[in-house]
C-alpha cells in the first residue's frame, strides 16, 4: 500500500517542474523576435543592400519596402526641382531666336533714330543762298560737330525735316566756319544749337536755343508751313553749348554751307 500511494504523489510533484521548464522556452522564443525587429530597421536604413548577403532571414520581406521608401524621395526631389541641369536643344533654339530678334530690333531702331548724325543733316540741308531765294519758309540751325546737345537733337531734327520736306527749307550752318561770321552776328547766336525760323521773305519770326522737346520744333515748323504770321514758340532757351567755344577754321570751299 505504501508504494501505490507514493506514485500519484510523485507525479503531482513532477508536473509543476515540467510546466515551469516551458516558461524559459517561451521567453527564449520571444527575445529573438525583438532582435529580428531591430535587424529589420537596420536593413531598411541601408542605401545599397548587398543582394548576396543571406545571413538575415528577414531580408526578403524588407527589400521591397525599404528600397522604395528610400529611393522615392530622391527621385521626387530631382523631378520636382523643375530646373534642368543642362539646356536641351529646344531651349537653345529659343534662346537663339530671341537673341536674333533683339539684335534686329536694336539695329532697326539705331538706323531709324539714333543712327542719324550731324553729317547726315548737313548732307541733306539746302545751301543758305538757295533757301533764301526759293520762296519757301526756312529753318536755319547753327551747330558744331563738338556740340553734344546738337548731336542729341539730330534724330528729332531729322524726323521733323522728313515730315515737312518740300514745304520748308532746312539749312545747317557750322559756327566754326568763318564764312558765317556775319550770320552769327545778325541772328545773335550765343549758344548752340540755335534754330532760327524765317518766313518765305527771309524775315525772322523767332528762335529756339538749346535742348528742348521735339514738339517745340515741330509746332514752329508747322506754323511756318501754313504761312502763319507768328510761331507758337518764338523765344525759348534750354540747355545749350556756348558759342564761345568755337574752333574757328578757314573755308575750304566757298560754296560750302558747313
Residues labelled catalytic: 147, 150
Q: Omega of the bond prior to 193 within 30 degrees of 0, cis? A: yes
- CA-based nearest residue to 235, from 213, 202, 201, 206: 206
For residue 253, which phi and psi values (nearest 5 degrees)?
-115, 115
Amino acid at each position: 500500500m505504501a508504494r501505490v500511494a507514493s506514485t500519484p504523489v510523485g507525479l503531482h510533484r513532477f508536473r509543476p517542474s515540467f510546466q515551469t521548464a516551458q516558461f524559459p522556452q517561451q521567453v527564449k522564443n520571444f527575445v529573438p523576435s525583438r532582435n529580428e525587429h531591430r535587424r529589420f530597421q537596420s536593413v531598411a536604413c541601408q542605401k545599397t543592400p548587398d543582394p548576396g548577403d543571406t545571413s538575415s532571414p528577414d531580408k526578403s520581406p524588407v527589400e521591397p519596402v525599404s528600397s522604395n521608401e528610400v529611393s522615392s524621395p530622391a527621385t521626387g526631389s530631382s523631378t520636382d526641382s523643375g530646373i534642368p541641369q543642362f539646356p536641351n536643344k529646344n531651349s537653345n533654339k529659343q534662346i537663339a531666336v530671341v537673341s536674333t530678334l533683339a539684335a534686329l530690333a536694336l539695329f532697326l531702331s539705331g538706323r531709324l533714330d539714333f543712327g542719324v548724325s550731324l553729317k547726315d543733316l548737313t548732307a541733306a540741308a539746302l545751301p543758305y543762298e538757295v533757301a533764301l531765294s526759293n520762296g519757301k519758309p526756312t529753318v536755319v540751325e547753327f551747330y558744331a560737330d563738338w556740340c553734344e546737345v546738337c548731336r542729341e537733337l539730330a534724330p528729332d531734327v531729322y524726323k521733323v525735316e522728313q515730315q515737312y520736306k518740300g514745304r520748308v527749307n532746312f539749312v545747317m550752318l557750322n559756327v566754326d566756319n568763318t564764312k558765317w561770321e556775319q550770320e552769327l552776328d545778325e541772328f545773335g547766336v550765343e549758344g548752340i544749337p540755335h534754330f532760327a525760323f524765317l518766313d518765305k521773305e527771309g524775315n525772322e519770326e523767332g528762335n529756339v536755343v538749346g535742348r528742348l522737346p521735339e514738339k517745340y520744333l515741330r509746332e514752329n515748323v508747322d506754323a511756318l508751313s501754313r504761312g502763319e504770321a507768328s510761331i507758337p514758340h518764338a523765344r525759348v532757351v534750354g540747355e545749350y553749348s556756348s558759342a564761345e567755344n568755337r574752333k574757328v577754321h578757314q573755308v575750304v570751299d566757298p560754296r560750302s554751307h558747313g
